[in-house]
Structure 1
Amino acid sequence: MDSPRQTVRSPRLHPGDRVRVVSPASPPTRDGVAHGVELLTSWGLRVEVGEHAFDRWGYMAGRDQDRAADLNAAFRDPGVRAVLASRGGKGAYRIVDDLDFDALRRNPKPLVGFSDITHLHLALWAHCGLASLHGPFPDGSRERCGPASATALRHALTTTAPVTLHRDPTEPTASITFGGTAVGVLVGGNLDAIRTETGAGLPALDGTILFLEHQRGTGLGEVDRALTQLARSGALNGLRGVVLGQFLGFERDTGDPTLGGWGILDVLRDRLGRLGVPVLGGVPAGHGPHPPTIPLGTEAALDTAAGTLTIRAAVT
């Protein structure tokens, strides 16, 4: 793997620019993508949909070679100015090694997505130093991606203004705070995806601020295993700070008597408190409704006293 380089930021979007929706992971719905195309078109963008975007092969949007081909076609086309993943799910991890990183070095453009798309964000930063966007999918319904989410995505793609996220005291992870300030490149996303890349495609995290969020479907022990694996592998050595987003599935977790009374907050405090770095919890970002758009691969400043994370734009 190439060493991470100085951050490469893509040109911001303008009306008339072409963007392409592709499906690197699970298949989207046609209605959902149609909603996304309508929204992007209303911003004056010309929207294309990848050839294999609606394919199905098991739980993935077509065979590995076809999903990779759609991504690389978008990367190689100099007229495509941004690439949006139609949804997450499963499968992006299978095509990471097939990406045309040289094409992105020649012609950088942002990739938008989250969840399983974390695998791609990590790879683009590791191999190209490319800033990308942890943001909503075009397949998101209006109920899950409302006007505030759409506005945040538009600003992240079309302006160079920094993005500031604030601690939300109603988020379960808001009580996890280890005080301090930190400055570093923001990387991360879905905890399960980051863990999966350990020993394979996970770039060195020294000098970075790590953003973590977690989807429903796994238990307390899996979160513990994931954080422990990252720590034991040495991946967290040199980390400057941690930002905790949403850990869904544990909203009412006040401690399981069968697990010694521990809940998700106990695991997070125990595992992250050992790192000796500032930790800001309660950022309302992850698999919940109306997600913000978060630049990844650019410099960020964390301030636990103010409860803020401020990130430089991913575009110029």
Structure 2
Amino acid sequence: MPLLRPNDLVRLVSPASRPDPAGIERRAKILRDWGLRVEVAPHAFDQLSYLAGSDDDRLSDLTDALLDPKVRAVFATRVGKGSYRILHRLPFEAVARDPKPVVGFSDITALHLALWRECRSIGVHGALTGDAEDRLSLIAARSLRTVLMEDGPFNVEVKQALASFELTTSGRARGRLIGGNLEMIATTSGWALPSLRGAILLIESAGLAIGQFDRILTMLMRAGHLNGVAGIAIGHVHGTPPNPPLDAIVLLRQHLSELNVPILGGLPIGHDADASSIVIGMMTEIDADHGTLIQRPEEMTTYDMR
């Protein structure tokens, strides 16, 4: 079933870094054109160093949006850094009584993971991403609207031109899609990262130095956080300069091959103006032989959307 319907109220909040107000207004217009009613949280454009205001104010905006029964989805205005600073203070028990999707990616992965772990509340790994002119890409907009407002099933097909396509193996796997940004998966490990047993692990990355990239994968593997995953879906892997003979793809292959599960790379998910949206927490099937990732909204249970 669709997550949102025309005339639903959504709220734009800034749990991490400060957005550009003009860009957010352009994105809000897109949502209004879809028939949604849009509010902007009071502190969305505050600034404190690299953050969109103080922790208390960002937490207040996010909590108010999650608990307001009139609000049916929460959109992160941008990513950046900072949502991990406030997620442990969320009133998870109250949120669980009326969970609603949080839309975002990158740093917002921390919220997705914590909300799934504590509330079984699904999230949308997607965003009002901007193109070179800071406008919402038509491709990204189409994908986001499909996930939010259309009946399924919907699928994401791989792009062989993406570097992560080289990691594709063979076979099929099915499970809840859990994950997102690799750095946030590591940041939440041990305190907000849910169990990945039986899950399809989603990985995307941007801007990690090669040594940092390797350290993160080593920690996740050696600490056992990835034990029991059913399969792995890999999106964009950007901004990790190679240090021959090592690069991000080589490191992913070295570490993830130990898991001996199907891997589907080349997914247009993550840091890209034309990125596809996908639902975190939804039952998902990956088919590495045919290069597809499929989600079926009709398989969402009442428990998912309490």
TM-score normalised per structure 1: 0.90
Compared with structure 1, are the counterparts of its residues 101 and 310 closer, same or farther at alpha carbon in structure 2 (3 Å cutoff)?
same
Following superposition, the deviation at residue 29 of structure 1 comes to 0.5
Matched, 1:235 2:225: yes
Aligned to 1:249: 239
Cα deviation digits, residues 147-179 of structure 1 (max 9, x gap):
121121112111231221111110011111222
Aligned to 1:132: 123
Q: Give secondary structure in 2 for the equivalent of 1:58.
A: coil
Aligned to 1:175: 166
Following superposition, the deviation at residue 129 of structure 1 comes to 0.9
What stretches of structure 1 of length at least 5 have no aligned partner? 1-8
Distance 2:205 2:231 in 1: 18
**Are 1:177 and 1:281, in contact at CA under 8 Å, matched by a contact in 2?**
yes
Distance 2:189 2:29 in 1: 38
**Are 1:132 and 1:296, in contact at CA under 8 Å, matched by a contact in 2?**
yes
> Over aligned residue pairs, what C-alpha RMSD do you find?
1.8
Following superposition, the deviation at residue 46 of structure 1 comes to 1.0
Aligned to 1:263: 247
Following superposition, the deviation at residue 144 of structure 1 comes to 6.2
> Structure 1 residue aligned with 2:79, among 74, 79, 88?
88
Distance 1:139 1:75 in 2: 25
Distance 1:75 1:297 in 2: 17
Q: Give secondary structure in 1 for the equivalent of 2:45.
A: coil
Aligned to 2:15: 24
Aligned to 1:59: 50
> Structure 2 residue aligned with 1:201, among 192, 201, 209?
192
Aligned to 1:48: 39
Matched, 1:13 2:4: yes
Distance 1:219 1:42 in 2: 40
**Are 1:84 and 1:111, in contact at CA under 8 Å, matched by a contact in 2?**
yes
Aligned to 1:296: 280
Aligned residues: 300
Following superposition, the deviation at residue 140 of structure 1 comes to 6.8
Cα deviation digits, residues 245-274 of structure 1 (max 9, x gap):
111024xx6x634xxx22222111111111
Matched, 1:73 2:64: yes
Distance 2:162 2:109 in 1: 22
Distance 1:208 1:18 in 2: 31
**Are 2:130 and 2:136, in contact at CA under 8 Å, matched by a contact in 1?**
no
Instruction: Give 2:243's aligned amino acid.
Output: D
Compared with structure 1, are the counterparts of its residues 220 and 153 closer, same or farther at alpha carbon in structure 2 (3 Å cutoff)?
same
Instruction: Give 2:100's aligned amino acid.
Output: K
Identity of aligned residues (%): 43
Aligned to 1:5: none
Following superposition, the deviation at residue 233 of structure 1 comes to 1.3
Instruction: Give 2:221's aligned amino acid.
Output: A
TM-score normalised per structure 2: 0.93
| 138-147 vs 301-310, which moves further | 138-147
> Structure 2 residue aligned with 1:285, among 262, 269, 290?
269
Aligned to 2:100: 109
Q: Give secondary structure in 2 for the equivalent of 1:274.
A: helix
**Are 1:133 and 1:295, in contact at CA under 8 Å, matched by a contact in 2?**
yes
| 33-42 vs 100-109, which moves further | 100-109
Following superposition, the deviation at residue 137 of structure 1 comes to 2.9
| 130-139 vs 187-196, which moves further | 130-139
Q: Give secondary structure in 1 for the equivalent of 2:53.
A: coil
Compared with structure 1, are the counterparts of its residues 144 and 305 closer, same or farther at alpha carbon in structure 2 (3 Å cutoff)?
farther
Distance 2:90 2:246 in 1: 41
Following superposition, the deviation at residue 66 of structure 1 comes to 0.6
Cα deviation digits, residues 109-143 of structure 1 (max 9, x gap):
11100000000000110011111100113777765
**Are 2:169 and 2:263, in contact at CA under 8 Å, matched by a contact in 1?**
yes
What stretches of structure 2 of length at least 5 have no aligned partner? none
**Are 2:6 and 2:34, in contact at CA under 8 Å, matched by a contact in 1?**
yes
Compared with structure 1, are the counterparts of its residues 302 and 162 closer, same or farther at alpha carbon in structure 2 (3 Å cutoff)?
same
> Structure 2 residue aligned with 1:274, among 245, 258, 268?
258
Distance 1:208 1:307 in 2: 18
